[in-house]
Amino acid sequence: MSFSLSNGEIYDFEVQKINGETTTLEDYKGKVLLIVNTASGCGLTPHYKGLQQLYSTYKDKGLVVLGFPCNQFAGQEPGTEEEIQHFCEINYQVSFPLFGKIDVKGENAHPLYKYLVENTPAPYHTGEIEWNFVKFLIDRSGNIVKQIPARTEPEALEADIQHLLEN
């Protein structure tokens, strides 16, 4: 399957919600998206707090944070989808959409992540997912704006998010 950046095909990707229901990203068309690979047992797990804060602050203006749990980095997301959802709700009051566990790199990487990694524009293109909590910012038209390194605190994205929401 081949995708171009200009026609919003990101919305065609099929994903599995954390409850097992299959859907596409079409539900988020016209929104600013922050797509993040997550883990519950990582030193960066507190990023959930900042992600939830961004979502709470800007969801009514059109921001949606999409969390994709992944167990590919030091086995830091070993739980079931139910355990992951419970952990996120209890510890970080996460209310943004979470999805089923996926691979984000390698031969079995989810097609969405292959697309994100391959199509991030310069100078933000790294060609890889280096760790948990790598963030991708997508504009309202479905274009990848940038890939943000794992260690970047969610709060540091606020100006970029405000800019995309206003334009």
Residues assigned a catalytic role: 42
Contact assessment for residue 67 and residue 55, using Cβ atoms and an 8 Å cutoff: no
How many angstroms separate the CA atoms of 94 and 123, rounded?
31
Residue 65 burial (C-beta neighbours within 10 Å; 0-12, 13-18, 19+): buried
Run of H or E including 82: helix 81-92
